[in-house]
Amino acid sequence: MALVTTAEVCDANSQLIMGGELRALQPIFQIYGRRQVFSGPVVTLKIFEDNVLVREFLEERGNGRVLVVDGGGSLRCAILGGNPVVQAQNNGWAGIVVNGCIRDVDEINGCDIGVRALASHPMKANKKGIGEKHVPVAIAGTRICDGEWLYADTDGILISKMELSV
């Protein structure tokens, strides 16, 4: 999606929007990381105030994928910090979208990766390893499934059932 904005994608694909194959997330996310524009196939994770599974995913090769973490919208602790984001950058992840909080914002903002989250919070998450991998999640008014495609820029975040040729 090199020079095509999410707004242009929406303008050019009204049929996909009407059919529900292209959806926009509600504009609730803050922008972090140096990569403001990113896209890739989605990997989903559902957790609550626990970041063990987040770290496990980001230790894997990313291969241009985007990790979408449904953290239940919790604003009580951070479920993503600087060290896992550095690891994600080094492992080839395109981006991370967190329905929850992050911390170590200065470190994350220095990384060449796209990160979206609700807010920052200084407290760390639990370490119990509880959660569900590769399950449908509902974030920002949109159902997101493993294998769908995410497109993000400074205008917003789009989810598509298939890779878009733009």
Q: Which residues contact 15 (CB under 8 A, 6 or more apart)?
A: none
82 carries a ligand binding annotation: yes
Question: Is 72 assigned to a binding site?
Answer: no
104 belongs to an annotated ligand binding site: yes
Taking the CA of residue 58 as centre, how many other CA atoms within 13 Å lie in the half-sphere pointing to its CB? 26
- Does 153 appear as a known binding residue? no
Q: For residue 62, say whether it is annotated as part of any ligand binding site.
A: no
Residue 35 marked ligand-binding: no
Name the binding residues for Mg(2+). 104
Name the binding residues for substrate. 81-84, 103
Name the binding residues. 81-84, 103-104
